[in-house]
């Protein structure tokens, strides 16, 4: 070895910037491992997931129990409808996809138990669903309208229920309007009052103040009733119990507005019916459904199954309120044999066309108290 030459080389080391690469198979030093989530945090997320799953299971089970309770009541409502009424209904597809026309017959009590006939109907309403276009149409038929009742000649249209129950009413309405009837619902107003109370009341927007004539006096003594002026309803949105909602829907005379009559009463009935539908579809009703499901169908007589009514509720929920219309048939007031009646007007054909959306809706002429027409619902 040469003199002065060292047997090794000397290298200057330096600190390398960044993470020092590790050989495969070797674990990182504790200081380089990712810190584990605290046990408390893992438990917190676990409880959240378990809580959400539990809530979902509860809602499903509660919904099934509520539906079974409701279905039991609807089954009884199906049995109360006479078979001859089923025979008058047109075949129909699914309520979720096909338009349907539903006849709602309101009775004022005193009918044969569970049949909805043997008395004159207090109100008649046609509901037309259009699920594809998300719109609904309502058509009120005045009970004093004089029409041809098959087998009985010219009578008030509400007499059809007295003569032949829902079957003859369906036949009469179909013949007069020319519309197919796919489903029928007979609603007992006495039971309707109890239904509203079971729901905890309904919220109704009263468009103008009302002072009714004297009927259904709320007092027990004749002296108190003689001093009583009538039912009062203030303008504005208010919660009504079953009694007040039923009275509101049946008012025929408003002392504060002479333009109110039996035809405008049909609009109030539509409002109350819509309010009941809103309340039935509310979350509060869902929570009580297993307990009140059976009573929801108690005032009904219908051909519709529980599944059909649920589908109808879904169609109504999806409907655009701004595209819904409220119609009424009209006529000329007259007296025949000392009985006040409405003689059908030619404009009713146009109203039916509006109801079916074959023409644009037009409101009743101003100042024409008994003429028909259609109004769009604000939305």
Domains and CATH numbers, the chain: 60-376 (3.40.630.190)
Confidence label for 251 from pLDDT (cuts 50, 70 and 90): confident
Tell me the C-alpha distance between 331 and 341, whole Å.
Answer: 9
Contacts with 305 (C-beta within 8 Å, 6 or more apart), sequence order: 71, 74, 78
| Choice among 207-211, 217-221, 307-311 with the minimum mean pLDDT | 217-221
264 three-state secondary structure? helix
Alpha helices in 35-129 (DSSP H): 39-80, 83-86
Per-residue tokens: 92? 């129909």
Kindly report the three-state secondary structure assignment for every residue of 149-213.
ECCCEEEECCHHHHHHHHHHHHHHHHHHHCCCCCEEEEEEHHHHHHHHHHCCCEEEEECCCEEEC
Dihedral angle computed from the Cα positions of residues 367, 368, 369 and 373, in that order, rounded to the nearest 10 degrees: -120
Q: Which of the pair, 280 or 12, is modelled with greater confidence?
A: 280
* Torsional class of 338: left (φ above 0), alpha (ψ -120 to 50), beta (otherwise): left
Residue 250 belongs to what H/E stretch?
helix 242-250
Do the Cβ atoms of 269 and 106 come closer than 8 Å? yes
pLDDT 10s digits, 64-118: 887 888 888 899 999 999 999 999 999 988 999 999 999 999 887 544 334 444 5
What is the residue-wise DSSP string for 290-328?
HHHHHHHTTTEEES--HHHHHHHHHHHHHS-GGG-EEEE
| Choice among 103-107, 115-119, 151-155, 305-309 with the minimum mean pLDDT | 115-119
Beta-carbon count within 10 A of 135 CB? 21
Contacts with 18 (C-beta within 8 Å, 6 or more apart), sequence order: none
Q: Return the pLDDT at 112.
A: 39
CA distance readout (Å), 229 to 101, 210, 211: 40, 12, 8
Residue 261 sits at φ, ψ, to 5 deg, of: -155, -165
Helices and strands (H and E) in the chain: how many? 10, 15
Nearest to 205 by CA among 377, 373, 374: 377
Tell me the C-alpha distance between 170 and 88, whole Å.
Answer: 7
DSSP 8-state class, residue 30:
G
pTM assigned to the model = 0.77
Length reported for the chain: 379
pLDDT, the chain, mean:
83
C-alpha dihedral sign at 207, 331, 140, 242: positive
Tell me the C-alpha distance between 134 and 136, whole Å.
Answer: 7
């Amino acid at each position: 070895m040469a003199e002065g030459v060292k047997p090794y080389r000397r290298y200057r080391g330096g600190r390398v910037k960044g993470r020092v690469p590790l050989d495969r198979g070797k674990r990182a030093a504790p200081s380089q491992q990712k810190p584990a989530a605290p046990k408390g945090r893992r438990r917190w997320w676990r409880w959240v997931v378990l809580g959400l799953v539990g809530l979902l299971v509860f809602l499903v089970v509660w919904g099934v129990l509520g539906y079974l309770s409701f279905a039991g009541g609807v089954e009884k409502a199906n049995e109360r409808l006479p078979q001859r009424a089923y025979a008058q209904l047109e075949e129909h597809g699914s309520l979720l996809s096909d338009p349907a026309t539903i006849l709602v017959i309101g009775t004022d009590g005193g009918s044969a138990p569970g049949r909805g006939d043997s008395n004159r109907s207090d109100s008649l309403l046609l509901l037309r669903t259009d699920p594809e276009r998300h719109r609904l149409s309502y058509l009120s038929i005045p009970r004093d309208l004089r029409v041809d009742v098959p087998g009985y000649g010219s009578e008030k249209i509400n007499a059809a229920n007295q003569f032949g129950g829902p079957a003859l009413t369906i036949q009469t309405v179909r013949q007069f309007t020319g519309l197919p009837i796919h489903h029928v619902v007979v609603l007992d107003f006495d039971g309707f009052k109890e239904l509203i109370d079971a729901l905890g009341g309904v919220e109704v927007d009263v468009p103008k103040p009302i002072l009714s004539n004297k009927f259904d006096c709320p007092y027990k003594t004749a002296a108190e009733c003689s001093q009583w002026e009538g039912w009062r309803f203030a303008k504005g949105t208010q919660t009504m119990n079953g009694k007040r909602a039923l009275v509101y829907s049946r008012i025929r005379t408003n002392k504060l507005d002479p333009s109110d009559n039996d035809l405008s009463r049909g609009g109030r009935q539509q409002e109350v019916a819509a309010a009941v539908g809103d309340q039935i579809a509310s979350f509060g009703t869902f929570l009580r459904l297993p307990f009140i499901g059976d009573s929801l169908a108690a005032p009904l007589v219908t051909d519709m199954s529980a599944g059909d009514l649920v589908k109808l509720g879904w169609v109504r929920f999806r409907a655009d309120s701004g595209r819904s219309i409220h119609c009424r048939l009209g006529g000329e007031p007259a007296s025949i044999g000392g009985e006040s009646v409405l003689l059908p007007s030619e404009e009713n054909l146009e109203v039916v066309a509006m109801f079916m959306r074959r023409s644009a809706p037009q409101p009743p002429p101003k100042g024409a108290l008994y003429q028909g027409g259609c109004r769009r619902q604000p939305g």
